[in-house]
Amino acid sequence: MNNQFWFSLSLSCVLGAMVAPGLAQWKAAVYQTAEKSAQRLTRVAEVPLTAGAPLTEKLDYVFVDPARTFQTVVGFGGALTDAAAETYYKLPAATRRELIRAYYDPKDGIGYTLGRTQINSCDFSSDSYTYVKEGDAALATFDVAHDRRYRIPLIKEAIAAAGGHLTLFASPWSAPAWMKTNGDMLHGGFLKPEYRDAWARYFVAFIRAYEKEGIPIWGVTVQNEPMAIQTWESLQFTAEEERDFVRDHLGPTLEKNGLGGIKLMVWDHNRTFMVQRASVILGDPAAAKYIWGIGFHWYTDPAYDHVAKVHEAFPQAHLLFTEGCTYPFDWAKIHDWSWGETYGTAILNDLNHGAEGWTDWNILLDQTGGPNHVGNFCYAPVHADTRTGELTYMNSFYYLGHFSKFIRPGAKRLLCSATKDVLLATAFMNPDGSIAVVVMNATDAAMPYQLRLGPNAAALESPAHSIM
């Protein structure tokens, strides 16, 4: 399915209440994505907000209090990996333009503002590689020539489509094999103590190299999934080792090289262990002073409350979802509605528990769920058939768009609650004063409710299996 119709939509705000003193000026523009319909981020109504009647338990409500604000949004986006870039440049030019506009154009697309990329290779690369020659601890041979073929050009196109700025962070999957205890970029292994300083300088070299390519790096994570021993590129850090590496090597090295403003994130792994990891690392003031925040993934138990627990224990730490995807890949199931609802459920819960942004995994994969050099195939919100040049948009693309398009960088989360547990809801005040309210219904029944914004109300209905 090639969703060319998408670009004919005139989109502005999910539930945009224009903040103005006159009650008659309040209105909600309603956009909807619903199963068993053609609605995909479709504007379905404009509803006035009028003086609300007295509350009654016979009705269901979504309440929004603009006077109560919480965290500020960094952005929403996805990962610009080797796999995404290689797939992208196998497509016809017109199809590439469609894709980049669909993701990054704030008016005609879903307005991604956040991105992730990798340092060295990862599983979603066609092969394993590093940027230096064997044994070069001085990093004299450091060169990102590999990335100039596909990945760097893709990132530049994304930056241009996003209006000239993309908040981009980078993560390593593995140090070079010769820096590791197992002598292999794959299958885990630890960083040898004698290479801790060289590995810290590697981050600096990467940031500087990308700057020279015209790509500013906003932040880095210390290590992708540091507890995992994977069949692909992986490097292990205990909590204590990650703390010590940040405190004694990476933090001081970034600062010494004039990169103290780089947002340094630890953990970058599943929610389930993030409380323990935060306690060990952020509990050390000498390490914590270098750390901007905690990155986290979703691949085991949901553990949404762990996001809130870290925020409660360490309110100075920023919280960013750094990776998530659905898998295993099966083309026959590409249009299952559950994929979008998985995203919607996670994003709503993460935001309501204190996350400041949300980063999907690959923005684009091919018809096999790759390329991937270890067979670890998965879904992306958009798949390209590189044989025909056709794009397939999964419903997860539209679910993501209900957040990325309407909740903009700098938005502040508002107090929001629903009287029905099955209505998942969140609300944000954008820098321009508009309010975005996202409501999701994953049940088989439509749910009528009243949106209550202070004393004002609008009668709405959330269709079965929808996000609005």
- pLDDT tens profile 99-120: 999 999 999 999 999 999 999 9
- How far apart are the C-alpha atoms of 41 and 222, rounded to whole Å? 36
Contact in structure between 121 and 175 (CB atoms under 8 Å): no
Euclidean distance between CA atoms 136 and 110, whole angstroms: 43
Region 227-244: what's the mean pLDDT? 98
What are the CA-CA distances from residue 203 to residues 184, 200, 254, 393 (Å)? Answer: 20, 6, 8, 35
Note the pLDDT tens digit of each residue in 32-77: 999 999 999 999 999 999 999 999 999 999 999 999 999 999 999 9
pLDDT tens-place string over residues 21-43 = 444 468 999 999 999 999 999 99
Query: Which pLDDT band, with edges at 50, 70 and 90, does 20 fall under?
Result: very low
pLDDT, tens digit, 9 for 90 and up, residues 410-456: 999 999 999 999 999 999 999 999 999 999 999 999 999 999 998 99
Residues 365-417 have pLDDT tens digits of 999 999 999 999 999 999 999 999 999 999 999 999 999 999 999 999 999 99
The pLDDT tens digits of the residues spanning 115-144 come to: 999 999 999 999 999 999 999 999 999 999
Residue 12: pLDDT above 80? no
Token pair of 417 as six digits: 């609650």
pLDDT at site 57 = 96
CA angle at 159 for the pair 210 and 150, rounded to the nearest 5°? 60
Q: Is 323 an annotated catalytic residue?
A: yes
- pLDDT at site 119: 98
Q: How confident is the model at residue 6 (pLDDT cuts 50, 70, 90)?
A: very low
Average pLDDT over every residue of 281-288: 98
Catalytic residue among 241, 242, 323, 356: 323
Residue 214 in this model has a pLDDT that exceeds 80: yes
Residues 236-242: contacts with CB under 8 Å, at least 24 apart: 236/188, 236/189, 236/190, 237/190, 237/191, 239/276, 239/277, 239/280, 239/281, 240/280, 241/190, 241/191, 242/266, 242/267, 242/277, 242/281
Angle between helices 304-313 and 338-352 (to 10 degrees): 20
Whole-structure pTM value: 0.95
Q: How many percent of the chain have pLDDT more than 70?
A: 95
What b/e string do you get for 220-240 counting C-beta neighbours within 10 Å, with b at 16 or more?
bbbbbbbbbebebbbbbbebe
**Which of the four pLDDT bands, split at 50, 70 and 90, describes residue 309?**
very high
Question: What confidence score (pLDDT) does residue 11 get?
Answer: 26
3-state secondary structure of 60: coil
Query: What's the pLDDT at 413?
Result: 98
Run of H or E residues at 333: none
Of 458, 438, 427, nearest to 66 by C-alpha is 427
pLDDT over 90 for what percent of the chain? 94
Residue 225 is among the residues annotated as catalytic for this protein: yes
Amino acid letter for position 52: G
| Mean pLDDT of all residues belonging to the chain | 94
Q: According to the model, what pLDDT value does residue 26 have? A: 82
One of 98, 157, 225, 341 is an active-site residue; which one? 225
Q: What's residue 454's pLDDT?
A: 87
Strands (DSSP E) found in 327-446: 357-362, 365-366, 382-385, 390-393, 412-418, 423-429, 435-441
Question: 324-361, pLDDT tens digit by residue?
Answer: 999 999 999 999 999 999 999 999 999 999 999 999 99
CA distances from 189 to 127, 181, 238, 266, 335 (A): 19, 5, 11, 18, 38
